[in-house]
C-alpha cells in the first residue's frame, strides 16, 4: 500500500466514526444540468469546492470556473485574509498541514468570486493531508500567516463533497483522469458512511402529502402513475396533486393540499435515482399529468388552451415528456 492509499485508509476510519462538534459544513446543489459541492467554515478564510455539468446543460447558463473541472477541488482564499494586489496572480500561497507545507503553483484573483483561486487535483497530497483530520492547518502567503482554521469536521465534509461530485461525474459520463484514479477508486471502495435507508418512491410521495397537508391526506388512485422513468430498475412515482385532498391539518378544503392554482396543479415525479443522490423530486405545473399507457416511460401533461395554441398542440392539448438523466424534456407526440 503506497502512502496515498495509507492516508485514505485512515480517512475511512475518521469518516466512519464521525465528528460531532461545530466546524466545516458541505452544501450541495444540482440545477439545470449543473452540480457542485462547497466546503466552508464561517470563520475560515479558505474554502473548497467541486462540481461540473451534464452534457445536456446549456453552456450559456454558466462558465466552467474553479471547482468545475472534473476530479479537482477549487480552492478559494478570501480577500478577508489576503487582500487584492497587483499583479493579480501569485505563487507564494501555501497551506501547511501538521507542519508540512503544500504550495499552490499559482493563484489567480477572481473578480467574480472576490477571492484568490486555484485548482487542486483530488489526487494531490494536499487533499489527502487535509483528510487525515489531524496536525493543525495554517494558510500562509510568503512569510505571513493568514489563517489557522479549525479542523473540526473538515475530513468528513471533504469526503462528503467528493462522494457527491463523484456520483454526478459518474452519471454525467465524465472519464476518470489519471491524476485521480488511485484516490477515487479507493474512495469508491471505502463506503464509510451508511447509504440512505431504502425507501420506496410511493412512501416518499405519501410523506410529501402528509407534510403538505400538515396531517392526514388522501390520494385518488388515478392521480398516481407508476413507471421506471429513470431506467434504474426501481419503481418511480408520478403524482398529480389535483387528486390530493387533506383529511386533517391546516390545508383541509384546499385543492391539492395547496399545490394548485386557479387552473394548474403541481405534478411531481419521484425518481429513485434522484432520491439516492439527495435531490428533490421533479415537478411541473399543468392541468393534469399521467403516464402514457403505450409507453409508460413517458409522462403526458394536459395544458391550458392558451398554452395549447401557443405550442400548436391542438387538438388534444397534451405535451409528452421523457427523462433524459437530468430533466423531463418535451419530445414529439
Q: pLDDT per residue over 174-210, tens digit each? A: 888 888 888 888 777 764 444 444 578 998 999 899 9
Residue 61 scores a pLDDT above 80: no
The C-alpha atoms of residue 119 and residue 100 are separated, in whole angstroms, by: 19
pLDDT of 262 reads 87
What phi and psi, each to the nearest 5 degrees, are found at residue 170? -65, -50
**In the sheet where 295-302 sits, what is the strand order?**
288-292, 295-302, 318-323, 328-331
Q: How far apart are CA 112 and CA 98, in angstroms?
A: 32
Helix axes 154-171, 3-17, angle to 10 degrees: 110
**Mean pLDDT in the chain?**
83
- The pLDDT value given to residue 22: 52
> Which of 245, 253, 201 has the alpha carbon at shortest distance from 223?
245
Radius of gyration of the chain (CA): 24
List 33's β-bridge partners, or say none.
none
Give me the mean pLDDT over the 214-234 stretch. 91
Q: Per mean pLDDT, which range of 115-129, 184-198, 246-260, 314-328 is the poorest?
A: 184-198
Q: What is the model's pLDDT at position 3?
A: 33
Of the listed ranges 20-24, 198-202, 237-241, 246-250, the one predicted with least confidence: 20-24
pLDDT score of 11 more than 70: no
Alpha-carbon separation of residue 44 from 23, 147, 300, 316 (angstroms): 10, 7, 49, 58
Give residue 99's region: left, alpha or beta (phi > 0; psi -120 to 50). left
DSSP conformational letter for 233? S
Q: Give residue 198's pLDDT.
A: 57
Residue 19: is its pLDDT beyond 70?
no
The answer to whether residue 242 scores a pLDDT higher than 80 is yes
* Residue linked to cell 399507457: 293
pLDDT at 182: 81
Instruction: Give the least confident one: 55-64, 104-113, 153-162, 298-307.
Output: 55-64
Q: Count, in order, helices (H) and strands (E) of the chain.
A: 7, 21
- What percent of the chain has pLDDT above 70? 87
Burial zone of 182 (CB within 10 Å; 0-12 exposed, 13-18 middle, 19+ buried): middle
Band (69; pLDDT cuts 50, 70, 90): confident
Amino acid at each position: 500500500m503506497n502512502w496515498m492509499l495509507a492516508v485514505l485508509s485512515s480517512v475511512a476510519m475518521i469518516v466512519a466514526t464521525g465528528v460531532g462538534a461545530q466546524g466545516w459544513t458541505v452544501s450541495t446543489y444540482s440545477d439545470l444540468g449543473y452540480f457542485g459541492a462547497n466546503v466552508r467554515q464561517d470563520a475560515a478564510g479558505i474554502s473548497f469546492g467541486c462540481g461540473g455539468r451534464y452534457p445536456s446543460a446549456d453552456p450559456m447558463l454558466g462558465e466552467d470556473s474553479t471547482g468545475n473541472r472534473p476530479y479537482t477541488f477549487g480552492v478559494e482564499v478570501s480577500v478577508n485574509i489576503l487582500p487584492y494586489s497587483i499583479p493579480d496572480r501569485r505563487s507564494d500561497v501555501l497551506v501547511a498541514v501538521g507542519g508540512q507545507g503544500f504550495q499552490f503553483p499559482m493563484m489567480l484573483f477572481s473578480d467574480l468570486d472576490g477571492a484568490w483561486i486555484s485548482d487542486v487535483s483530488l489526487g494531490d497530497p494536499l487533499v489527502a493531508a487535509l483528510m487525515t483530520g489531524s496536525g493543525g492547518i495554517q494558510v500562509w502567503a510568503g512569510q505571513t500567516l493568514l489563517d489557522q482554521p479549525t479542523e473540526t469536521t473538515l475530513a468528513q465534509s471533504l469526503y462528503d463533497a467528493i462522494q457527491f461530485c463523484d456520483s454526478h461525474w459518474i452519471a454525467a459520463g465524465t472519464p476518470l483522469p489519471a491524476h485521480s484514479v488511485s484516490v477515487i477508486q479507493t474512495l469508491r471502495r471505502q463506503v464509510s458512511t451508511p447509504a440512505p435507508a431504502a425507501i420506496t418512491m410511493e412512501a416518499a410521495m405519501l410523506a410529501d402529502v402528509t407534510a403538505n397537508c400538515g396531517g392526514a391526506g388522501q390520494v385518488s388512485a388515478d392521480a398516481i402513475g407508476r413507471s421506471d422513468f429513470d431506467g434504474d430498475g426501481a419503481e418511480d412515482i408520478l403524482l398529480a396533486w389535483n387528486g390530493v385532498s387533506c383529511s386533517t391539518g391546516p390545508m383541509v378544503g384546499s385543492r391539492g393540499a395547496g399545490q394548485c392554482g386557479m387552473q394548474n396543479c403541481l405534478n411531481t415525479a419521484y425518481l429513485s435515482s434522484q432520491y439516492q443522490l439527495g435531490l428533490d423530486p421533479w415537478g411541473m405545473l399543468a392541468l393534469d399529468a399521467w403516464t402514457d399507457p403505450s409507453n409508460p416511460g413517458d409522462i403526458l401533461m394536459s395544458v391550458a388552451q392558451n398554452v395549447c395554441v401557443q405550442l400548436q398542440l391542438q387538438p388534444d392539448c397534451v405535451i409528452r415528456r421523457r427523462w433524459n438523466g437530468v430533466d423531463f424534456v418535451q419530445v414529439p407526440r
